[in-house]
A and B are shown apart, each in its own frame.
Chain A
Amino acid sequence: MTPKRRRLWLLLGSLTTLGVAAALVLTALNDNLVFFYSPTQVAEKSLGPERRFRLGGLVEEGSVQKEGQIVRFTITDTNKTLKVVYRGILPDLFREGQGVIAEGSLGPDGVFAAREILAKHDENYMPPEVAKALKESGQWKDKK
């Protein structure tokens, strides 16, 4: 084997080992790498009031109620839902049917008390006219 060959195999071998190691570490840490839990995951995990976490999902249509600075709404993953209460300023993209992430903890009454609300936006970009035309012709894709 020429030295070049040897160096090439050494390089490929080390990279493969490193790749496998990285994959194993990431798989083991999977639960810590997710940014938020869905209402279904929250129900499965039975997280207590002392535990702070992020809850993500869609704002359920027709669920938003505003009383002064306090906002109440429901987050859904279309399987399970969870009621949320929040006091403060909402991001511009917050609306019904929109993906949001709330950070806070579950109250004793089972309502999620959010301390911060972030809006998610999806990967679709289009001018307003196109969005309007899609909605009118009924081709608007339902968000997951």
Chain B
Amino acid sequence: MADLHFLANPARFRRFSQRVLPGLGFATVLMLAVGVYMAFFVAPQDYQQGNTVRIMFVHVPSAWLSMGGYAMLAVLGASLLVWRHPLAALMARAAAPVGASFAAVCLLTGSLWGRPMWGTYWVWDARLTSMLLLFFLYLGHIALSRAYDSPERGDRAAAILALIGVINLPIIKFSVDWWNTLHQPASITRLDAPAIHNSILVPLLWMAVSLLFLFVWLVLLRTETEIDRRRLENAEAAS
């Protein structure tokens, strides 16, 4: 992997993102279109769940991205607190609402899937509860980063929350193994072969990559906006 250190400088980041954004946006739209087509028309029904299995193509990637997004907030938080990285705080502000949206999508689609399959929209088992906590941690991060008059203090407070909340990520991941839950255990991220037939696995992974593109695109775009916003605020404060 190339050295990404040059991105720490906001001006250089901006030149980089402006070069990547158009192509990335185009690729995202194209990949999502193909992914949605695969999810609805190419993937077969499941032997037990019939058509409702198609909810998985949105539900599972959203879960991965909301957890990956939170891990990213933690890394950015550490870069801000330890190395005083100039861009880390702005990127965390940009990423938190995107991650929160994916967490919300995961919870909503899971609920809609649970009703026909399990017989309930919601139960308080370890997996569902820890996932709801992740959503609240995101909301806390967003609120805390805007809670102070000086944006820098908000950045710091939010970074500390991101680092505390990172403890929840292994709890979400292993909740289905450590305790018995209504939610079934992992199908893909396990030591032996995935428990999903290729005809369903390929559209799922395709959707996961498409939504990852969407995530990166949104975060880069929003980071640019945050850079502009911070510049304006500093200019206003100086004048």
A, B in one complex: yes
Q: Is A122 an interface residue (CB 8 A)?
A: yes
Secondary structure of the B contact surface, majority rule: loop
Cβ-defined contact, B81 with A125, below 8 A: no
Residues B119 and A117 in contact, CB atoms below 8 Å apart = yes
Hey, which chain A residues are within 8 Å of B53, CB to CB?
Answer: 125
Q: Is the CB of B185 within 8 A of A125?
A: no
The size of the chain B interface, using a CB distance under 8 A, is 39
Nearest CB in chain A: distance from B125 CB, A: 4
A119, CB-defined interface residue at 8 Å: yes
Q: Is B164 in the interface zone, CB < 8 Å from A?
A: yes
| Nearest A residue (CB) for B185 | A123
Interface members, chain B 105-119 (any A CB < 8 Å)? 116-119
* A23 and B197 alpha carbons, distance in the complex (Å): 35
> Main SS of the interface on chain A?
mixed
Question: Smallest CB–CB gap between A58 and chain B, Å?
Answer: 13
The answer to whether B199 touches A124 (Cβ under 8 A) is: no
Known interface pairs A7-B82, A33-B126, A123-B184. Does A93 touch B117 (Cβ–Cβ under 8 Å)?
yes
Looking across the interface, which residue of chain B has its beta carbon closest to that of A19? Answer: B167
Can you list 18 residue pairs at the A/B interface with Cβ under 8 Å?
A7-B82, A8-B82, A11-B81, A11-B82, A11-B163, A18-B167, A22-B167, A33-B178, A38-B180, A92-B116, A92-B117, A92-B119, A117-B119, A118-B119, A118-B120, A125-B197, A127-B200, A130-B47
